[in-house]
Structure 1
Amino acid sequence: MSTNTGVSNEDAITLSAAERKRVRTRSWRLLATLASRQKPMLVLTVVLVVISNAARASFPIIIAWAIDWGLPQVTGGNLAALGITGGAYVFSAITAGSLLGWYVLCTAKISQAMLLDLRLRVFRHTQRLSLEFHEKYTSGRIISRQTSDLETLRELLDQGISELVSACVFVTFTLISIFVLDWRSGIVVMIAAIPISLLFGWYQRRSEVVYRESRVVSARLIGTFVETMTGIRAVKAFRKEKANDANYASVAGEYRDNSIRSINLFGVLQPGLVLVGNLSVAAVLAWGGFRILDGTLAVGVLVALLLATKRVFQPVENIAMFYSSLQAATAALEKVSGLLEESPTVVEPARPQPLGEVAGALKFEDAVFGYGDGPVIMDSFDLDIPAGQTVAVVGQTGAGKSTLAKLIARFYDLRSGTLTLDSVPIDQIANDDLRRHVVMVTQESFLFSGTVAENIALGKPGASIEEIILAARAVGAHEFITALPEAYDTDVNKRGGRVSAGQRQLISFARAFLADPAVLILDEATSSLDIPSERAVQRGLQTLLGNRTALIIAHRLSTVQIADRVLVVHDGKIVEDGSPAELIGSAGRFAALHKAWKDSLV
């Protein structure tokens, strides 16, 4: 069953302590899993960062040595001391610089490998989730996960983590060097850790909520934009530009306000760290100055202590900047890990039952169904469809017609009862077998970017052009396809931009014909056809249906006339069942629908 984390808590801004801990653990576990695949490179980067930062941290010690030992030696005539101290400094600088460059290259490779892995995971996982998930989780939010959230993670992985780790290691080695030079001054510097910890704690508590809100608002912003552009025809038709402008401005304003709040928080953190750093340098200078006067501290050591103390707080300021990125990336990681935690509600059977030659007999027995945790909409439902029968399903909107189609296509599973295909429970059939033998043509008739031939070939990957043309001829699509600029090689563009809605449906019929399934489901599949196209499709349907089992869901009763049997569905139940002629001759719902349709033609 689905955990529903990504759906139910998607818009949650504040979480309980337990939930926050669980989400954080889940997020960092995901990051650790991604990093574990890069172990050899990670080990190398650890070695590089340790050695390069150790070399950088040695600069103040070398300077102290040069002042307190080297200068007296040179003054006494030992010029070799200048070469020794200068050579040590140059060696450390070359070591630090070259290894740091190598380290940056390694971290770039690691971050890009992790991001590629994560992008593929998100895409593959989202595709595998059940239709129930996609009907709850808006496309804008999914796009946000794949774009805005992963881009935030990219910024962190490309530079943030590498520089954060490098800064932490450098601070550690520099503190060690301060204690090596003078442990008393080291204690003075360590006292500064108290106000720094308080500042970071204050920042974390407040920024955590702000950045979590940022991901939610960002998803809404992208979702609003995608929805508007996807429905641009409706926007133009209903003159919704001004209303959409106001709505988008409101969401964009929320995003701006959230960004300002995050900047204000950082505007307190960074100056606070700078103040603590400057006060620490002043304290070391004052403390060291008095000790020089009483002869307990060398001048070179004090110079080195001041340099080291100043350098300790330079990375701390950088850490503050990266910590801000870390908070944003953590919020993004929570959303991505929440999406990856979702589980399909319709799962592949562990031990699928084999199918022989499929005839296409369908049977519901005592079926109970409801969407998600919602109310039951199909209770104790029974239906027997013999193999090869063409069944039309009619009824008012919301009666349960499309639900019936989705169950047969196994987009959803029953809560109880059984649904069988040739006496095999449909939830025990392998997905590949089910998709091969049960094909559904929907009202949307979606076309992917590519040629007309490639779209038809989705029904049978690897089909020859002759097979594709034969399928198009069978459903009456060949004539308009050959009239396109490049015929079957015409690129339909995104969402079939170069063909009409009716032509898209004809292409989807050709796709279904080529697939040659045992069970064919047409869910409002002729709703966008004009009268001439519909008549052409009616002729094609006779060929398309053949001897296979067919379920036709339609409002247009002209399509229903070719059915062997008509089911009238009302409130999730079959209230009428018979041939078209039998039901027309009765005084029931179908007769009333048929009369209304006849009147509309007149």
Structure 2
Amino acid sequence: MTLAGVEGEDRQDYSRAESRVIRQRSSRLLGSLLRPLRGRVIVAMVIVAISTGLQTAGPALIAIGIDTGLPAIVERADALPLAIVVLLYLAAAVVGAVLMWHYTMLSARISQAFLYDLRGRIYRHAQRLSLEFHESYTSGRIIARQTNDLDSIRELLDSGIQGLIRGVLYMVFIAIALVIIDPLSAAVIAASLPILALLTWWFQATSQRAFRATRVHSARLIVKFVETMTGIRAVKAFRAEQRNQREFGEHVENYRAANAKAIGVFGIFDPSLVIIGNVTVAAVLLVGGLRVAGGALAVGVLLAALMYTRRFFDPMEEMAQFYNSYQSAAAALEKISGVLEETPSVPDPTRPIELRQARGAIDFDGVRFAYRDDRVVLPDFELHIPAGQTVALVGSTGAGKTTLAKLVSRFYDPSTGTVSLDGVDLRKLHPKDLRRAIVMVTQEAYLFSGSVAENIALGKPAAERAEIEAAARAVGAHEFITALPDGYDTDVNKRGGRVSAGQRQLLSFARAFLADPAVLILDEATASLDIPSERLVQHGLTTLLADRTAIVIAHRLSTVAIADRVLVMERGRIVEDGAPDELIGGTGRFAALHAAWRDSLV
């Protein structure tokens, strides 16, 4: 599935070809999830079939008791036939209940195993997908896949399927029993089936549209909420609360209206079902009563026929509820299968080349890169960075600096040409060696929930505490860490809530230092630091960049001063290349940038 397909997954209308593809995709996913569970599923089906059969036997046993047991008592004072029928009735009820308990427990285990597998697949696959996917697929939508959509599938597995299976088997067994004890009553019920089928067809067609709409509006509601909470700083900074509240209110109203339409469908279906059932019961009573009066039918058989007729229509409501759950779960499975069908735009190599000890030489050979066909960022790019060299990238916004860094990190692959590390194409390099050799520190400096020490050790989970502290000291972070309530064991909370933006950046430097990559990329990594903090961290940066290849993207030219070489980029091309002092003394673009920076300090 393409990203365009993922972006359009919340549409309510699909062409016939699209619907077929989506159904096939969902069926493949469903089959792969059920395949390991097929043994337990078969056992569960056998148990529920036996249990339903025993429960269906009740009215027939009552008929036997009335027509055979009671006359035996009245005529011969023999209570044994009635006692046998009563014992059989009780035994069928008890065994049926025990089997249903076993089925409920087994189906719960099947459901949990199914959801465990599916939840793990979503998480693992979402991590494997390339940065391109995550930059296009909003966080709210991926959260909806893991929460709202999985809940819909769980609801179907826990109760919906059980209601369907029992309902279908119940109707089949009742039909068989009626044909055996009174074929004419069975024919009366059969006469109602065309009307019942027409009603069911209308319900399926109408509810499908209605429940798809509820799923679409539910997903949009979740996305809006998650994005608002994630971007709450921007919301408050731009006083967007009222606008967001209005937009959220529109989503809530659309969701309410969609649910009202879905409920309205049931409002027509349920009463119609009751009417059909009652009319059929009345017809069976009329036809059977006349035959009882004429002596052609026993009273017990009539009673059993009436009970069977009444019970025949009872599962229909449960089956309608199942269809409700099914529509919701089917829509959820479509979206989940769409995510799982997504292939990484940066795939792992089939025959990876190992590079355990990288030196750090970077080469761009004939590289062209475009995010889209009409958005070429690097038109024809050539670059060689020797191992151990610190290169500063400067230039205006949109010049291609961050794109270059993402290509070196292999967040993206070039459209044409190669990016290589020590002569090995990054597309052929073993992923473990690639991640060990190249580390990128961004402006965001994301911290995960957990302790300060755990966040520093992200790139080297087995690191000893002494190594973690040494990394923090090297970049100038040790002093502020020890001042925290629990030092290195302080929980930074979600998104680093206990530390400032500048401190988060220092922690990300310590993380990179501990990982000890051959190539280090700093993408505006000092942007969150004020001038005094930046001066304090300059020594740490010098330590961090020593003895490794470094690519530093910065607007602050004070950071550029520590570089061996400066590349000035404009529109995806290198327009200047040289040592900082050499370019400052010239008359080019970098000299102008440096002069403007000095004037800003004055």
Q: Which residue of 2 aligns with 1:577?
A: 577
Residues 438-457 of structure 1 aligned to structure 2 (within 5 Å): 438-457=438-457
Kept after mapping to 2: 8 A contact 1:6/1:339:
no
Of stretches 569-578 and 201-210 in structure 1, the one that deviates more from structure 2 is 201-210
Q: Which residue of 1 aligns with 2:389?
A: 389
Paired residue type of 1:534 = E
For residues 187 and 376 of structure 1, what CA distance do their matches in structure 2 show?
Answer: 72
Of stretches 196-205 and 312-321 in structure 1, the one that deviates more from structure 2 is 196-205
For residues 209 and 601 of structure 2, what CA distance do their matches in structure 1 show?
Answer: 60
Of stretches 293-302 and 416-425 in structure 1, the one that deviates more from structure 2 is 293-302
Q: Which residue of 2 aligns with 1:468?
A: 468
Q: Which residue of 2 aligns with 1:136?
A: 136
Q: Per-residue CA shift, 1:217-260, capped at 9, x if unaligned?
A: 22221121112212222222222221221111111111111111
For residues 228 and 3 of structure 1, what CA distance do their matches in structure 2 show?
Answer: 27
- C-alpha deviation, 1:488, in angstroms: 0.7
Q: Which residue of 2 aligns with 1:94?
A: 94
Q: Which residue of 2 aligns with 1:348?
A: 348
Paired residue type of 1:195 = I
Paired residue type of 2:441 = V
Q: Which residue of 1 aligns with 2:256?
A: 256
Paired residue type of 1:488 = Y
For residues 227 and 458 of structure 2, what CA distance do their matches in structure 1 show?
Answer: 27
Kept after mapping to 1: 8 A contact 2:33/2:114:
yes
For residues 305 and 444 of structure 1, what CA distance do their matches in structure 2 show?
Answer: 73
Q: Which residue of 2 aligns with 1:30?
A: 29
Of stretches 306-315 and 175-184 in structure 1, the one that deviates more from structure 2 is 175-184
5+ residue gaps, structure 1: none
Paired residue type of 2:448 = F
For residues 306 and 256 of structure 1, what CA distance do their matches in structure 2 show?
Answer: 41
For residues 70 and 514 of structure 2, what CA distance do their matches in structure 1 show?
Answer: 90
Of stretches 238-247 and 457-466 in structure 1, the one that deviates more from structure 2 is 238-247
Residues 480-495 of structure 1 aligned to structure 2 (within 5 Å): 480-495=480-495
Q: Which residue of 2 aligns with 1:117?
A: 117
What is the aligned-residue RMSD (CA, Å)?
Answer: 1.4
Q: Which residue of 2 aligns with 1:318?
A: 318
For residues 59 and 349 of structure 1, what CA distance do their matches in structure 2 show?
Answer: 64
Tell me the TM-score normalised to structure 2 length.
0.97
SS in 2 for 1:370: strand
For residues 259 and 580 of structure 1, what CA distance do their matches in structure 2 show?
Answer: 64
For residues 332 and 374 of structure 1, what CA distance do their matches in structure 2 show?
Answer: 34
For residues 484 and 143 of structure 2, what CA distance do their matches in structure 1 show?
Answer: 33
- C-alpha deviation, 1:187, in angstroms: 2.2
Q: Per-residue CA shift, 1:512-561, capped at 9, x if unaligned?
A: 00111000000111100011211122111111111211000111111111
- C-alpha deviation, 1:196, in angstroms: 2.1
Distance 1:345 1:175, change over 3 A: same
SS in 2 for 1:353: coil
- C-alpha deviation, 1:374, in angstroms: 4.8
For residues 431 and 217 of structure 1, what CA distance do their matches in structure 2 show?
Answer: 39
Q: Which residue of 2 aligns with 1:50?
A: 49
Of stretches 423-432 and 75-84 in structure 1, the one that deviates more from structure 2 is 75-84
SS in 1 for 2:381: strand
Q: Which residue of 2 aligns with 1:148?
A: 148
Residues 43-442 of structure 1 aligned to structure 2 (within 5 Å): 43-77=42-76, 78-372=78-372, 374-442=374-442
- C-alpha deviation, 1:339, in angstroms: 1.2
- C-alpha deviation, 1:15, in angstroms: 0.7
Distance 1:192 1:526, change over 3 A: same
SS in 2 for 1:269: helix
SS in 2 for 1:12: coil
Paired residue type of 2:544 = L
Kept after mapping to 2: 8 A contact 1:274/1:317:
no
Q: Per-residue CA shift, 1:86-106, capped at 9, x if unaligned?
A: 111111111111111111111
Kept after mapping to 2: 8 A contact 1:144/1:218:
no
5+ residue gaps, structure 2: none
- C-alpha deviation, 1:6, in angstroms: 5.3
Kept after mapping to 1: 8 A contact 2:469/2:478:
yes
Kept after mapping to 1: 8 A contact 2:210/2:258:
yes
- C-alpha deviation, 1:18, in angstroms: 2.3
For residues 576 and 91 of structure 1, what CA distance do their matches in structure 2 show?
Answer: 92
- C-alpha deviation, 1:9, in angstroms: 2.6
Q: Per-residue CA shift, 1:254-308, capped at 9, x if unaligned?
A: 1111111111112112222222111211121122223333433222111111000
For residues 281 and 356 of structure 2, what CA distance do their matches in structure 1 show?
Answer: 82
Q: Per-residue CA shift, 1:380-411, capped at 9, x if unaligned?
A: 21111111111111111111111001000000
Give me the identity figure in percent: 56
Q: Per-residue CA shift, 1:133-178, capped at 9, x if unaligned?
A: 0000000000011111111111111111112211211111111111
Kept after mapping to 2: 8 A contact 1:208/1:331:
no
Paired residue type of 1:56 = Q
Kept after mapping to 2: 8 A contact 1:152/1:332:
yes
- C-alpha deviation, 1:5, in angstroms: 6.8
For residues 109 and 447 of structure 1, what CA distance do their matches in structure 2 show?
Answer: 36
Paired residue type of 1:60 = P
SS in 2 for 1:517: coil
Kept after mapping to 1: 8 A contact 2:3/2:136:
no
Kept after mapping to 2: 8 A contact 1:520/1:549:
yes
Q: Which residue of 2 aligns with 1:16?
A: 15
Kept after mapping to 2: 8 A contact 1:132/1:372:
no
Paired residue type of 1:446 = Y
Paired residue type of 1:476 = G
- C-alpha deviation, 1:356, in angstroms: 4.7
